[in-house]
Amino acid sequence: MSGISRTRLKALILAGEVTIESRTIRDPGHRVNVGDEIVVSIPPDEPAVPQGEAIPLTVLHEDAELIVIDKPRGLVVHPAAGNRTGTLVNALIAHCGTSLSGIGGVKRPGIVHRLDKDTTGVMVVAKTDRTHQGLAAQFADHGRTGPLVRSYLAFVWGVPDRRKGTIDAPLGRHRQARDKMAVRLDGRAAITHWEVLETYLGTDGKPVASLITCRLETGRTHQIRVHLAHIGHPLLGDEVYGPGFRTKAALLPAAARDALEALGRQALHAHMLVFQHPVSGKTQKFDSALPRDLARLRQALAGGAAERRRTPGPNRNT
């Protein structure tokens, strides 16, 4: 097998591309015997440049410079290891053709910011390089000197001890689990502003969960998820940063337990995005209503009883 690295061979084994005596072997440490017949299937190389795929998009706005979409759950933003196809980038290439900014590189054309795979809501994508540069500058500034606002709706366990607050805690890679983020003194600055909108009572009559709005002043990976877990109020359904709260589901009304079990993801939605159009100079505002799964969860939680402080507005754009 000259010309193929040990790393590549290991990946082929893990992918089920190796058989011994017609039996698929997925353990790179499998011991072989004298006379074993080993067959290795080497699939053709994947194209370096993502290809367009007919994936439906919910378009909130589109012009010659940019496109604003309402991202569904389960959609990865750009190709990466384990997600070479079926991404938002593949969908955008099919929808926009060649009219996507190239600043992000061939695998991230037009991508200015990201949402986690299972986080829903509003995203803006640049179709020209000048718009990409203009949007990137606004996101880097995080609204300190301009109109940029990134606001999320989050269903969390428990109720904060005050109506609103700010989490200022630096974030970096988790020291043991490298696929996770964590609050670290040597991390990058991260600031999240939050406000309680509704609180929900459990079957014991005590507050068990709440709906809060989060506004980002920085944009770190998993920022809201880590910050809310850090203050003791992780997202409902977040198996990465809030697994210790799983037992609290027993305190939810039956309908809410069913809605949470059916959710199968973190209860987070990017409901509002405000930015200045880099070409026209006009302030653009886009809202996204809660998707069906989170709307069902909200209704079920409120069925137990809820205290409302302020209700997010309807779906609209300016």
Q: How much is the pLDDT for 232?
A: 96
| The domains spanning 48-141 and 147-318 adopt the same CATH topology | yes
Give the pLDDT score at 317.
Answer: 45
pLDDT given at position 316: 42
* Phi then psi dihedrals of residue 10, to 5 deg: -60, -40
Specify the pLDDT at position 318: 42
CATH 3.30.2350.10 for the 48-141 domain, yes or no = yes
Please say whether the dihedral angle defined by the alpha carbons of residues 259, 265, 267 and 270, taken in this order, is positive or negative.
Answer: negative
CA angle 277, 105, 126 (to 5 degrees): 15
118 labelled catalytic = no
Tokens of 18: 């190796």
**Which residue in the list 70, 116, 118, 238 is annotated as catalytic?**
116
Q: Where are the domains of the chain?
A: 6-40, 48-141, 147-318
pLDDT under 70: residue ranges of the chain: 1-2, 44-48, 81-83, 103-107, 304-318
**CB of 166 within 8 A of CB of 172?**
no
| Joined tokens for residue 300 | 């079920």
Q: What token pair was written down for 120?
A: 């829903």
Architecture in CATH of 147-318: 2-Layer Sandwich (3.30)
Taking only the tens place, the pLDDT of each residue in 183-198 is 999 999 999 999 999 9
Distance between start and end Cα atoms, the chain: 60
